[in-house]
Amino acid sequence: MGMTFRLASALIAAIALAGCSALSPIRPTPIAANAAPVSHEPPYRWTQGVAPQAHKDMVATFGRVGLKPGEYLWVTSTPGEGDTRVILDLLTQMGYVYRGDHLIGVSTISSAKRGMVTPLGFWSILEKRKMYRSRKYDNAPMPFMQRIDSYGIAMHGGNNPGYPASHGCVRLPMKFAEKLYGVTKVGSKVIIEG
């Protein structure tokens, strides 16, 4: 009984001390001068910073932070000056279109599902066709197709469920794919980050 009494007394004393320290004023823990800053940026596998900047431009241009699956936004008046370039963000499943330095369109996208690959990096549009059919995947339609590599990866109109679901191509909402097709040319630059 002596041992049990001592354990119970020690437990009561520990609880009382914990209660006292809980009532003491809270003091902030100092941060070391050499501590790494906390990043709130998404965890990209590869980025040159253009996709995060494009998102900021979307907020500034359209006043929107995000889009619903299949949704897109396009400016009412497209600037006539400058080359068109496309930025695709695989991490956020968003696509951005610029004419010169001006963001002219944004859209949700659907890139490669698990086990398939949408390649990261710097690309150019190699081929454009208003209507094309996949040679690899059951003659699947690829409207407003814009191919970016020799394997057959392309941007085109298609199902946009809000998550990666393709065999590797980048699916765009149909109307957005049509608008994009109208402002690009063979040689237009495409940057894919994610």
Structural domain harbouring 84: 50-193
Alpha helices in the chain (DSSP H): 2-23, 50-62, 174-183
Whether 8 has a pLDDT exceeding 70, the answer reads no
- On whether residue 96 sits in a domain, the answer given is yes
Residue 6 maps to a domain: no
Evaluate whether residue 19 is within a structural domain: no
Could you tell me if residue 9 is inside a domain?
no
Judged against a pLDDT cut of 90, whether residue 31 lies above it is answered with no
Q: Quote the number of domains for the chain.
A: 1
Residues 59-81, mean pLDDT to the nearest whole number: 95
- Output the pLDDT for position 10: 47
Question: One-letter amino acid identity for 177?
Answer: A
What pLDDT sits at residue 140? Answer: 87
CATH number of domain containing 123: 2.40.440.10
Distance of CA 87 to the CA centre of its chain: 10
